[in-house]
Amino acid sequence: MQHARSLAPARQREGSPWTGLWAVVAKEMADYLTSARMMILEALILLTAFGTVYAASQNLRAGAGTSDDFLFLRLFTTAREPLPAFVGFLGLLVPLLAIALAFDSINGEFNQRTLSKVLAQPIYRDALLLGKFLAGLGTLALALTAIWLLIIGMGLLQLGVPPSGEETVRMLWFLLITIFYGGIWLALAMLFSIIFRQPATAALAAIAVWLFFTVFWGIIASLLARTLQPAPPGDTQALINQIQLELLLTRLSPNTLFSEVALAMLNPAVRALGIVLPIQLHNAIPGTPLPAGQSILLTWPHATGLIAATIVLFAIGYILFQRQEVRA
């Protein structure tokens, strides 16, 4: 029935679907930036950034003189016991921040009974949904950019040299990918906020997915690879096939994509993201550094993958939201 109607010809919608988009973005972004939960998480990230980067810079200063051309990148990747490096924290905190921003974006409007009122204004649902997403992404971008600036500022103070052009390009690209990485979790949390009426359920569901990819996916991928592509002892080709399958499977996880990008961008010596997939960034393979442009090319598929997954999640949410009854 619904189907038949959508096939009807000349069912053109009046006006632009983005009418009112900026009004939504402005309001949502103001909400996000002043909300308590955003401030708590931002303080947490700032604290981690400060702590890890400070520790890293101390380490780097101690080892000064070792001719390292990429001191600024080391700020992100150098760990000092017992703290892991800042990139390690980023992989965990960015999803949390994104989930915290979006888990109640649609069901919150339902529960506040503002949804039917807002949709009774001359806007389409498209504008509301995209507006909320863009506001979330904008907030993430703002928060992360601030942290990057903080790190660079600390680097300037502690290391006493400005970042090179190469380093700047690498840090910028890494910032961009980090924002996209947040975008995936934002879209996921938003999708759950459409599916579940209770914000708590949506938040739990999103965190469950996050935990799944952070903790279990690696194990599952390796189990799957071993079952699907058994490698008898001595058969090198089979072993390579198995490892390649495992790699393919782990790359279905945004966490893997993100950590590979981090590896390639912050470690110019990494020339390929192939079978060698070091989990620990500071154990990177020695070698001549790759130019920034080459590293970007290396991580281009990852960026595309992250964006594509975000679009798919957003589209699913969009379709569900269009069909949803507005009344509570």
Site map (CB under 8 A) of another protein, residues 24-43, x = contact: x-xx---x------------
Q: CB 26 → another protein: shortest distance, Å? A: 7
Closest by CA position to 310, among listed 38, 102, 47, 72: 102
* 120 near another protein (CB under 8 A): yes
Query: Nearest Cα to 255, choosing from 287, 216, 296?
Result: 216
Say which amino acid occupies 194. Answer: I
The b/e string for 244-282 (b: 16+ C-beta within 10 A; e otherwise) is: ebbbebbbebbbbbbbbbbbbbbbbebbebeeeeeeebe
Sign of the alpha-carbon torsion through 170, 176, 180, 185: positive
Note whether 226 binds another protein by CB under 8 A: no
Residues near 51 by beta carbon (within 8 Å), at least 6 away in sequence: 83
Regarding 304 and contact with another protein (CB under 8 A), the answer is: no
Looking at 37, 113, 197, 226, which residue binds another protein (CB under 8 A)?
Answer: 113
Work out which of 47, 58, 114, 294 binds another protein, going by CB under 8 A.
Answer: 114
Q: Which is nearer to another protein, 12 or 227 (CB)?
A: 12
Of 99-107, 120-128, 134-142, 157-165, the segment contacting another protein by CB under 8 A is 120-128
Closest CA to 30 of 136, 123, 120, 130: 136
Q: Locate tokens 């909300």: which residue? A: 35
Does residue 194 belong to the site contacting another protein (CB under 8 A)? no
Helix 86-102 and helix 36-62, axial crossing angle in degrees, nearest 10: 170
Least separation in angstroms between residue 37's CB and another protein is 12
Return d(Cα 105, Cα 74) in angstroms, integer. 37
Q: Which amino acid is at 101?
A: L
> Closer to another protein at the Cβ: 118 or 277?
118
- How far, CA to CA in Å, does 180 sit from each of 90, 164, 204, 261, 313? 13, 24, 22, 12, 13
Interface with another protein in residues 63-82 (CB under 8 A): none
For residue 3, state whether it binds another protein (rule: CB under 8 A).
Answer: no
> Would you count residue 9 as binding another protein (CB under 8 A)?
no
Binding of another protein at residue 319 (CB under 8 A)?
no
Query: Which residue in the set 9, 65, 82, 122 belongs to the binding site for another protein (CB under 8 A)?
Result: 122
Alpha-carbon separation of residue 128 from 5, 31, 180, 325 (angstroms): 24, 14, 20, 15
Interface with another protein, residue 112, by CB under 8 A? yes
Closer to another protein by Cβ: residue 121 or 294: 121
In terms of CB distance, is 15 or 232 closer to another protein?
Answer: 15
Binding window for another protein (CB under 8 A); candidates: 6-14, 159-167, 197-205, 307-315 = 6-14
Instruction: Round to whole Å and give the CA distance between 80 and 86.
Output: 10
Residue 177 in contact with residue 261, Cβ under 8 Å?
Answer: yes
Find the shortest distance in angstroms from Cβ 16 to another protein: 9
* Residue choice 58, 116, 294, 304 for contact with another protein (CB under 8 A): 116
Q: Which residues bind another protein (CB under 8 A)?
A: 1, 5, 11-15, 19-20, 23-24, 26-27, 31, 112-114, 116-124, 325-327
